[in-house]
């Protein structure tokens, strides 16, 4: 085998290069953000409740404060997702909108989430994703957000990828 490799160094080099290119492409696809598009979901149209297993981060709203506004944006995120982190300023701004509350959902332990919130300047409610919510929304790629009417609990829209302020606000009546 060594003799073959020594005699075919150029071919081996090309194979190694090809393997690196394929690996890089796979990593790029896996690590890329969810494609940014909006649509009214057909699978999830009505919630029974808005789940609030709050982490208690600074800026966290009470359940009464959340449902006092006509809409809530349920943002599913990951602590390691750079696109989720890039959405934080927009989510903070949306949370200040008079018609909208923002809730971020993560499947993580409280300590890392609270450290993340403090380090990244999160000024909206962060909650633990329950198994029920995880199965219902199935956030395979993050970030993904759902706009919910707080009175009817109807899901009005789904946003994939980084949140766009104007796009979300366009759904608020």
What pTM, to 2 d.p., does this model score? Answer: 0.76
In DSSP terms, 101 is beta-bridged to 72
pLDDT at residue 30, as a whole number: 46
Residue 159 pLDDT greater than 80, yes or no: yes
Fold assignment, 37-169: Glutaredoxin (3.40.30)
pLDDT at residue 14, as a whole number: 67
Q: What percent of the chain has pLDDT over 90?
A: 57
pLDDT at residue 48, as a whole number: 81
Domains of the chain, by residue range, sit at 2-31, 37-169
Does the N-terminal peptide bond of residue 143 adopt cis geometry, omega within 30 degrees of 0?
A: yes
| Secondary structure class of 109 (helix, strand, coil) | coil
For 22-71, what is the HEC assignment?
Answer: HHHHHHHHHHCCCCCEEECCCCCCECCCCCCCECCCCCCCCHHHHHHCCE
The encoded tokens of residue 14 equal 């090309």
pLDDT tens sequence across 58-76 = 889 999 999 999 999 999 9
H or E element, residue 112: helix 110-120
pLDDT tens sequence across 95-143 = 999 999 999 999 999 999 999 999 999 999 999 998 888 888 888 889 9
What's the mean per-residue pLDDT of the chain? 84
CA–CA distance, 110 with 156 (Å, rounded to integer): 29
CA–CA distance, 100 with 69 (Å, rounded to integer): 6
């Amino acid at each position: 085998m060594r003799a073959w490799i020594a005699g075919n160094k150029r071919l081996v080099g090309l194979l190694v290069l090809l393997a690196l290119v394929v690996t890089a492409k796979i990593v790029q696809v896996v690590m890329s953000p969810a494609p940014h598009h909006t649509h009214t979901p057909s699978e999830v149209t009505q919630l029974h409740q808005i789940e609030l297993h709050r982490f208690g981060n600074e800026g966290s709203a009470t359940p009464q404060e959340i449902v006092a506004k006509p809409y809530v944006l349920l943002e599913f995120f990951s602590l390691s997702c750079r696109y989720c982190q890039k959405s934080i300023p927009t989510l903070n701004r949306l949370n200040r909108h008079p018609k909208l509350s923002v809730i971020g959902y993560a499947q993580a332990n409280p300590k890392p989430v609270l450290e993340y919130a403090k380090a990244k300047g999160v000024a909206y409610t962060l909650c633990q994703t329950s198994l029920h919510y995880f199965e219902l929304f199935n956030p395979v790629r993050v970030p993904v957000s759902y706009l919910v009417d707080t009175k009817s609990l109807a899901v009005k829209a789904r946003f994939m990828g980084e949140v766009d302020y104007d796009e979300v606000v366009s759904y608020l009546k």
